[in-house]
Amino acid sequence: MTKNVATVEGLTLAALIERLCQAGYQMSCPDTGRVHGFTSAGQLTYLTSQEVAGFLVEGNGVLLWDKPTGSLYVSQIATKPRISCDGLTVEQEQSLQRLLTSHGIIYSIAHEDFAYEA
């Protein structure tokens, strides 16, 4: 499993989520139909689709699903959207990178220990 973070340039978090949803991800968990959000303190909260935009403030994030057991955590730190690759295999991370590139999303990858430095 990797411990990398993709930092996205030139998009808002809402625009990144929209692009990822256009690429096949969905906001609602396929098994439960719920949107899973996490506060900056790490607390799980369930959201409606209408609540997501207001929830996505500095440090809060949501899971985007590509299958019942596969998800990405996206959040915004220091005004930049971030995608956590924690929990992805190397192959899954490479697949995510190909997807981001194919959709014209500019990003950089760094280990989580360094990804949040200014």
Please count the structural domains in the chain: 1
- What pLDDT shows up at residue 68? 63
For 39: left if phi > 0, alpha if psi spans -120 to 50, otherwise beta; the answer is beta
Predicted confidence (pLDDT) at residue 82 exceeds the cutoff of 90:
yes
For 17-47, what is each residue's pLDDT tens digit? 999 999 999 999 888 888 999 999 999 999 9
Instruction: With beta carbons less than 8 A apart as the criterion, state whether 22 and 66 touch.
Output: no
The pTM score is 0.89
Q: Which domain holds residue 49?
A: 4-115
pLDDT band at 49; cut points 50, 70, 90: confident
